[in-house]
Amino acid sequence: FLGGLLELKRINIYGNRLTGTIPVAL
């Protein structure tokens, strides 16, 4: 479960870097 959260956060960081917007905090 924790691994899934880490993956989501990592995806959010990459998404933020690509789109230039603030990543969604889960």
pTM for the structure as a whole: 0.37
Give 1-26 pLDDT, tens digit per residue: 677 777 878 877 776 666 655 555 54
Q: Where are the domains of the chain?
A: 1-26
Q: CA separation (Å) from 19 to 2, 3, 8, 12, 14?
A: 25, 24, 16, 10, 9
Contact 4, 26 (CB under 8 A): no
What pLDDT score was predicted for residue 19?
A: 62
Give the pLDDT score at 8. Answer: 79
pLDDT of residue 24: 55
* Confidence (pLDDT) at 9: 81
